[in-house]
Every structure is written in C-alpha cells, then in structure tokens.
Amino acid sequence: MNVPMAAERTTLVRNASFVVAWDGSAKKHAYMPDADVAWRGGVLSFVGRGYDGPSDEVIDGRGLMVMPGLVNIHCHPSSEPMNKGLTDEVGSPGLYNSSLYEYLPIFRGDPSGVKACIRVALAELLLSGVTTVADLSMAHPGWLDTLGESGMRVVIAPMFRSARWYTKSGHVVEYEWDEKAGVKAMEEAFALIERAEQHPSGRLSGMAVPAQIDTCTPELLRDSHAEARKRGISWQIHAAQSVVEFHEITRRHGLTPIQWLDKLGTLGKGTIIGHGIFLDDHPRTRWSTDTDLGLLADTGTTVAHCPTVFARRGIMLRDIGRYRRRGVNIGLGTDTYPHNMLDEMRLAAYAARMMAENPRTLNSGDLFEAATVNGAAALGRDDIGKLEAGCRADLVMVDVTHPGMRPARDPVRSLIYAAADRAIRSVVVDGQEVVRDGRCLTIDYAAAAEELHEAQKRMIAGVPERDWAHRPLEAISPPTFLTI
C-alpha cells in the first residue's frame, strides 16, 4: 500500500516519562524526564518541557519513553531472510569458517522470494525501532516501490562489481572477471539512485556500493568513489570481512585491504567499510604493520559493525570499544536475520566485552550513539538519529511499564538488555505512524513470512545443482534432529 505524505498537522506527546533528547551543547543524548515532544508534518517542532503551542493530536506520554529512531547502515533485506534455518551453523572449514564463498551463492531466491525477503526484513526492522536503513541489494524489479510502501526512510545501495567469486573445491576461492559488466552495472546503479531520489514517497535516497574489495577493479573503485563524492552521497564497500579476502588483497597488492583502499584514495568521511574486522593487528591476519586502525580513524572513515553474522562463524571484531577510543566512527547494521536492531545492539555490547575481556570497553551510551547519530553521520545527515527541534520526526515510543522494562531505572539499558522489541509500542517515520501496539501498519508481516516460507522451499530444490560438489541440502546444513 502507498503511505501518504504527512499532513501539516501537529502531534504532541505530552509528559512522557522519559525522552531521550539531544543535548546540543554537549552533543550527546540525555534523559529528559517528564518532557514533551511535538512534531508538525514530518519535522520535530519541540523537544523539552512545558509545550504550550497548538496540537491537533495529543498522546498521553505517561509510561512512555520517546527516543530517536534507530539508523541501520548495513543490511541485505533482499536475500538474508531466505537463509533462516540454512546458514545458522555453517562455515567453510577450508575457508577460515566464512560462509561467503561456498554457501551464499547456492542460497538464492526467485523474484517472488526476493520481494518476500524484503518485506519480512523491513517489517522486522520497523518492529525493532529502525526508521532509516541502508539496503545493500542487487537491483531488481519493483525494488523502489516496495521500499516506498514500507514507510521507512531507505538509502538504496545497488551493488555492482567486476567479478563474481566461486569455489570448485571448498578450499580455494576463484574469480570470474567481466570488467565491462562491472562498469555497466555501476552506471545503472547511479541511474537507479537518481530514480530513488525522485520517488514520490520522499523518503528514498542513495549510496554507491562497489560490492566487495576483492571483486572490483581499482578503476571501478576509484571511479565509483569519485562519482559518489561528486553527487554528495556515501560510498560503502565490504572490506576486511574475511581471512580469505585479506590474503587475496595482500597477495595482489602487498597491502592490507585497508591500506589498499587508502592508496586508492577511497578512505575518508563519507566512506563506510562494511565490516572492517581483519585489520593488520588482528591475530588471525597479523601483518608486518600496525597502521590500519589509525588509517580508519585519521581519515574519518566509518565502520559498519554487524556482529551476528560473524558470531555464527566464531568470528568477531576486536573490539568496538577499541575502535571508538581510537576515534573511528562506528555505526551498526543487521547484515543477517533476524533483522532486529535491538538484538544486534545487545550482541555488539556482549561481544565487545568478551573480545576485550573488559566490561568497561563499551557502555550503553556508546552503543546507542552507534545506532543513531554515528549512523546518521555516516550517511551525511544531521537531521535523523536524534530528538531535537528541526530534525525529522523519526521516533520510537517504548512502553516503560512493560514487564520486560521493569525495573525501569535506566530504560535504554532495560530496552537493550532485557525487553528489546517486545516493549516497542509505536514507531513514527517522517511524522507518520508505521508501527502501532507492536504491529506493522505498512507491511503484512505474517503474510510476507508465509510467502518467504514457500519461496525457500522452491529455492531449496535447486541447491544440489548450484553446489560445487552437488551435495544434498542435508549434507550442507544438517537439521537439528533427524526425522523418524
């Protein structure tokens, strides 16, 4: 369904128990108890106490925490939901436990399945408080309209590349190159971004994404980066995401992935590195230098941190707190299912503390910044991810009386570590309510999930044909229990 543009009417949340407000002088989020939040159309008009202006609708804020909508800077909605129950426990033993090269190419849905994937993922994101998401997908029919109908603020990120990867053995990754096809795909991606920026929803924008550092020529990387700068949009690439990739780039160039991007001139403000795990000081890829973390920080490059997909393979960034202290801008994403941003935030906190062996490496304020203003900064925006007059009316209302939120001494902690999406009552994007009482208003989540279930069954039938060893699914991803 099409979501109409927000009418020019004023909505007021009066006397909210907590508001996570933006303290402009300190440039930080702060709790503001017993406060009011008002918005007119799609813009916040008041955040504070004692609102005495006009209001067309008044919401009783008692028992509510009003917080900014979450900003997700790395997501694959068109493919990852299809992998539920398939890739939860797989990792190639001959490829350093990554699932990228052997398994992901064989789990691909048909066009109907892609649409179901997107709708399921976007519904889950909305239900977990995400109001802005970067959708890293391959271009496909109907993409923009599906995103527009969701009611979300979406940065489309049509991926392009010069080569595809594959394996014929399960322990060697090979590349099939087609440089002309990569250039053509890049040109088509920028044309699609232009269409997104003109979409009638008014909530779509774009990002340039050469898919992976090892599948793109140096020319494609430089040219796409220059075009992104010319257009004033962000540029994102998967890099330092696997041991295989680290070794491939050092073999080709004698430099680490981060150093290679620096040599190409593609690091800097507006650049996002999707995942940035395997730096030169990582114990699995220890290199002769110790400069990668400094390069990321000193150039103002952002890292998109998505812990769940790597934790499943026993892989983890070392660690988000260390990156932050060195000055790296860290944002968060949901690379894989479930597309639950609050679950991802919780795991990010626990993983950081385990990797650092220190509970003080990261606190909840750091984490909340990563999921809001840090992500907004990576997208070149200062009008989302915070509650301040003049910003977009993208916000979340949390029921602090929910049993999972009690005791509610520190409601953001209770939300992250205990209640999660169960306590979310309402989500507003651009002044329009898109979630109410835990139900997505713009997407039929249950129907999309059922469509996805059927699409996965169709996809599974072709797995042996696509697999390098022609194995049955049960040999690739054994079920939890045998069927008797």
Please, what are the domains in the chain?
10-68+387-440 (2.30.40.10), 70-378 (3.20.20.140)
Q: Grade residue 34 by pLDDT with cuts at 50, 70 and 90.
A: very high
Q: Grade residue 92 by pLDDT with cuts at 50, 70 and 90.
A: very high
In order, the DSSP letters of 326-373 are HT-EEEE-B-SSS--HHHHHHHHHHHHHHHHT-TTS--HHHHHHHTTH
- Integer Cα distance of 180 and 221 in angstroms: 14
Helices and strands, number each (H, E), in the chain:
16, 20
Question: Could you tell me the strand order of the sheet in which 235-239 lies?
Answer: 235-239, 271-275, 302-305, 329-332
Name, in order, each residue with C-beta under 8 angstroms of 391's C-beta and a sequence gap of 6 or more: 22, 43, 44, 383, 384
Reported as a single tens digit per residue, the pLDDT across 406-423 is 998 999 999 999 999 999
Residue 289's pLDDT is 97
Q: Grade residue 8 by pLDDT with cuts at 50, 70 and 90.
A: confident
Nearest to 236 by CA among 343, 386, 385, 133: 133
Helices 179-197 and 218-231 cross at an angle (nearest 10°) of 20
- Integer Cα distance of 347 and 434 in angstroms: 26
Q: Write down the residue that tokens 């990576």 correspond to.
A: 378
Residue 6's pLDDT is 45
The answer, yes or no, to whether the previous bond of 81 is cis (omega within 30 of 0) is: no
Reported as a single tens digit per residue, the pLDDT across 316-347 is 999 999 999 999 999 999 999 999 999 999 99
Q: Grade residue 108 by pLDDT with cuts at 50, 70 and 90.
A: confident
Q: What angle do CA 326, 331, 337 make, to 5 degrees?
A: 135
Residue 44's pLDDT is 98
Q: Grade residue 53 by pLDDT with cuts at 50, 70 and 90.
A: very high
Nearest to 65 by CA among 370, 391, 331, 427: 427
Q: What are phi and psi of 462, to 5 degrees?
A: -100, 5
| Token pair for 147 | 């995103």
Q: Which DSSP category does 3 fall into?
A: P
Nearest to 393 by CA among 75, 147, 57, 77: 57
Helices 445-460 and 111-127 cross at an angle (nearest 10°) of 140
Q: At 15, which helix (H) or strand (E)?
A: strand 10-23
Q: What is the mean pLDDT of the chain?
A: 96
- Integer Cα distance of 442 and 430 in angstroms: 14
Q: What pairing do the DSSP bridges indicate for beta strands 43-48 and 28-40?
A: antiparallel
